[in-house]
Structure 1
Amino acid sequence: MKVFQCLSQSRGRGCLRILMLLLGVTTLSGCQVLQSIDKGLYDVAEAVTETDRVTGQRALSTANRNQQIALGNQYVDKLLQDEQKQGRKVDSALDTRQYRRLVRIFDRIHPISHLRQERWKPVLIDRDSFNAFTTGGTYIVVHLGLMKQLNDAEVAAVVGHEIAHTVANHVAERQTHQQLSGLTSSSAVRRKGYQAAFTHEREREADRIGILYSALAGFDPYAASRIWQRQYQQQGNARSLFAHDHPVNAERSAEAKAVADKVKQYYRAGKVNPQAHALLDNNTLWQKRSNRHAESAGEGGGVAAILSTAVGVMAEHQQAKQEEYRQAQQAQFVRSVQQSMRLEEQRWLNDRSWQTRWHYTGNLKLHSVVMGIIARDSQGKTYRFVGHHKGVLTPGQRFNVSFMLNKNMTLNQLERMQTQYYLDDALPVR
């Protein structure tokens, strides 16, 4: 563990030079003591890492795959038991058509994934919310509300994304990263913003893998981009309200489209790409690293394993810190612009929509301006609604933004709630 601490401190480069020297001495001299040390280092690396199924590099994990399956499935088994106790139906008993549809889509995605050799099971539960998740085991849990909102290609993007979380070992990786980071003197890992940013980057990776899965399985790879563009129109980005552990909707849509542009060459509408398994290792997104010529334990393999792991940990750490800083800067910008927004008027259009008039007194030209309103009912439940301003907003301009309630709420209900307008997002014109 001292190797990780050494590499995380300011004299990390010195540690690297020492370890590289040790690697050379071990390889050339065959000294029994150094061989023993190298084997010990290799055992340490084996205990806290596994080979990343996507990249071939070492990734943090203190639990082997069997342990991950046991722990992940235990959570879902408990969930299903609770559903039964509360009288909630699951799977085909809940909705035969939607469950068969989920299974049909899953049975196209899973066989071309990196975990196709495992026996997985999709689960449909009775929730109206837009959500799906995995816990690192062999279940994928999907909410009925999500199935009702998405077409087949969009469901495939979600299924691929969730499988990708387990493929990329994100659950175990996050837990191990927190454990090992706690041994260092870094205060960053304890910040909520850092923790959100770390997860944010794992979500981006799962998106990329999931979109490739969709394309290889014969589903439109642009479906994921359409999901998040639609979510952006309905929910905005909430840029300044909290640290984001998922990419904000507009950025997620744009990045998903960029990934789809790269993998569309593998897409065969309605058909599995015959080269799917080979393309998992080498494609336009990544080339899997081969470990065929890696040194063995006692022959420099221990030092090499520790080095590659430590470098990978530090790279992920820096990536999360950069994302945390980026989010903080963007949130600060939105909050500063919000001070230049003045509400001048609001009027009801009908029983489910209304229009607001604003005066922008700032000095910058803006685009992608989204206004939002937060409403809280007497039970403390929170609702958010957004309205978009199209085009460029210039200094001194007055502009209108319209809002619409969801189908389960009326303006009379909204008027009885505590409400507050806010600037959901805005970007400067470059």
Structure 2
Amino acid sequence: MGWKRVALIVLAAVGLSGCQALQKVDQGLYQVAESVSERDRVTGQRTLSMADRSAQIANGNAYIEQLIAAEKKAGRPVNAAVDKQQYQRLVRVFDRVHQISHLKDERWQPLLIRRDSFNAFTTGGTYIVVHSELMDTLKDDAELAAVIGHEIAHTVANHVYERQTHAQVSALAGSNSVSRSGYQAAFTHESEREADRIGILYSALSGYDPMAASRIWQRKYTAEGNARALFHHDHPVNAERYQEAQAVGQKVMPYYQKNRINPNAQALLDNNVLWRKNNAEAAAGEGGGVSALLTTALGAYVQHQGAKQEELRQRQQAHFVKSVEAGLKLESSRKASAQKLETRWRYAVRGPVLKNLVMGLYFKRDNKVERYVDHVPGYIKPGQVFAARFELPQGVTVDDLQRYDARFYLDDVEPAR
């Protein structure tokens, strides 16, 4: 009920301002709106943020500068010292994507650090940090461009400070949702989806194949599955991510000119197949205060409801996966070869017909958890027996699995509609 109360207060202010026509009241309301919101660079709508751009840059860059200092103190290389060719490649791809972004007038710096993880991130300032394993994994420049566009988009859409301000305002509004880890994950999940969409548009406008993002997540899904059965997730799972990236890529494909920045890029940032930017806002004292506060409150309420719906969707999916997993019975397992394990399972409960079932195998080796999956083709009916086969990595044989305390799990499944 918290966000509804906020909206009602704003609506009351609208009535007061309209009745009394007080210019100063409207100016005051505009100042209030400015203190807790900003105009979204993508859509033009008001979004929550208690930090202006200068504060965002100062705070975000301070964190990265501490990271750089820590890397140097520990004797770890950065940028060209990590890998000269990969750093030059990173700068080259970054420059082209940044050139058509909403923040093209800011001076940004890509930072390459040595990490054995597939990751890149921004902190709301003017740095983008990329891990060396991601550079080594993504051989295609278009795929690297998709990741870079996604990270720039997080700052463009102000996701870091939007999330912080939303949490603070939600607490003041009496909402209990923000205290739930599932809600927090769902809120971030929706920000990740938005960053994906913006990043794919950036790819197309900067002359990189907009279908590249979908290829990244399709490979991830094939190799890793979704791994979402037992917990809330703050990123779209691999299958959802590649499907949505594919759909967005197809939509923006007409803007793609191979290896060439679209000459209409700046106009297309405001008006494209994904959104149409609203640049109209009344001035303070002329209804702008009422409008800014109202759109801020209502926009935050819609965002709040969207996160709650995503939280519920994730909870329902996790419950369904757990219920199916409880009904799966291991019928047999055999060593098909030294590094191939074949298992047979029975779907031993009354329930819906299943599809897109992914079985997983995990174990811990060298203090690192390793997961391997098998995608089971076709539909599975109650009582049906199906096979799941696992190809093990180099250095691990089927005979080793008991020593590694290997365990099976249901990675993901859907009811056949």
Do 2:61 and 2:123's aligned partners in 1 also have CA atoms closer than 8 Å?
Answer: yes
Q: 2:12: which partner in 1?
A: 18
Query: Is this contact kept in 1: 2:82–2:113, CA < 8 A?
Result: yes
Q: Once the 2 structures are TM-superposed, how far is the Cα of residue 324 of structure 1 from its aligned partner? A: 0.3
Structure 1 residues 345-354 or 180-189, which shifts more?
Answer: 345-354
8 Å contact from structure 1 (residues 373, 386) kept in 2: yes
Q: Tell me what 1:418 maps to.
A: 405
Corresponding position of 1:206: 195
Q: 1:359: how far off?
A: 1.2
Counterpart CA distance in 2 for 1:312 and 1:265 is: 30
Does 2:204 correspond to 1:215? yes
Is 1:63 equivalent to 2:30 in the alignment? no
1:126 matched to 2:114? The reply is yes
Counterpart for residue 374 of structure 2: 387
Note the aligned Cα RMSD (angstroms). 1.8
| 1:155 to 2:150 alignment | no
CA distance in 2, matches of 1:49, 1:427: 40
**Correspondence for 2:320 among 317, 330, 333:** 333
Moved more, 406-415 or 88-97: 406-415
The equivalences for 1:1-400 within 5 A come to 8-9=3-4, 14-15=8-9, 17-26=11-20, 29=21, 34-150=22-138, 151-291=140-280, 294-362=281-349, 363-376=351-364, 379=367, 381-400=368-387
Residue pair 2:207, 2:259 contacting (<8 A) in 1 also: yes
Instruction: Indicate if the aligned counterparts of 2:208 and 2:259 stay in contact, CA closer than 8 A.
Output: yes
Quick one: distance in 1 between partners of 2:2 and 2:173? 10
CA distance in structure 2 between the partners assigned to 1:337 and 1:65 by the alignment: 48
Secondary structure (helix, strand or coil) at the match of 2:260 reads coil
Quick one: distance in 1 between partners of 2:6 and 2:195? 31
Cα contact 2:208–2:258 (8 A) shared by 1: yes
**1:295–1:304: 8 Å Cα contact kept in structure 2?**
yes
**Secondary structure of the equivalent of 1:415?**
coil
Q: CA, structure 1 residues 393+311, in 2 after alignment: closer, same or farther (shift >3 Å)?
A: same
In structure 2, C-alpha distance between the alignment counterparts of 1:413 and 1:90, rounded to whole Å: 38
SS at match of 1:299: coil
Whole-Å Cα distance in 1 between the matches of residues 228 and 81 of structure 2? 40
The answer (yes or no) to whether the contact 2:143–2:212 under 8 Å persists in 1 is yes
3-state SS of 2:372 partner: strand
Q: Name the aligned partner's letter for residue 374 of structure 2.
A: G
- Structure-2 residue corresponding to 1:3: none
Q: 1:375 to 1:325 in 2, by over 3 A?
A: same
The aligned amino acid for 1:162 is: E
Check the 8 A contact 2:10/2:290 in 1, yes or no.
Answer: no
Letter in 2 for 1:312: G
The 1:409/1:165 distance shift into structure 2, 3 A limit, reads farther
Indicate the percent of aligned positions where both proteins have the same amino acid.
57
1:21 counterpart letter in structure 2? G
**What is the distance in 1 between the residues matched to 2:158 and 2:192?**
12
Aligned-residue offset at 1:12? 5.9
Q: Which amino acid is the alignment partner of residue 357 of structure 2?
A: V
Cα distance in 2 for residues equivalent to 1:7 and 1:37? 24
Whether the aligned pair in 2 keeps the contact of 1:48 and 1:176 (CA below 8 Å) is yes
Q: Which runs of 5+ in 1 are unaligned?
A: 1-5
Q: 1:13 to 1:47 in 2, by over 3 A?
A: closer
Q: CA deviation at 1:384?
A: 2.2
* Conservation of the 8 A alpha-carbon contact between 1:47 and 1:62: yes
Does the aligned pair in 1 maintain the 2:225–2:238 contact within 8 Å?
A: yes
Deviations 1:237-294 (A, max 9, x none): 1221210100010011100011011100001111111101110000000000012xx3
Partner of 1:393, secondary structure, is: coil
For 1:398 and 1:49, the matched residues in 2 are separated by 56
Change (3 A) 1:133 1:13: closer
- Note closer, same or farther for the CA distance 1:408–1:126 as it changes in structure 2 (3 Å cut): farther
Deviation at 1:203, TM superposition (A): 0.2
Q: How many pairs align?
A: 415
- Tell me, yes or no, if the aligned pair for 2:362 and 2:369 is still in contact at 8 Å: yes
Q: Deviations over 1:356-390 (max 9, x none)?
A: 111112332111100112324585x4332211101
Q: Do the aligned residues in 2 keep the contact of 1:7 with 1:15 (CA within 8 Å)?
A: no
Q: CA–CA distance in 2 between the matches of 1:126 and 1:407? A: 24
For normalisation by structure 2, the TM-score amounts to 0.95
Q: Find the aligned partners of 1:12 and 1:71 in 2 and give their Cα distance.
A: 29
Do structure 1's residue 405 and structure 2's residue 392 form an aligned pair?
yes
Give the TM-score of the pair, scaled to structure 1. Answer: 0.92
Query: Structure 1 residues 189-198 or 15-24, which shifts more?
Result: 15-24
| Contact 2:217–2:241 under 8 Å retained in 1 | yes
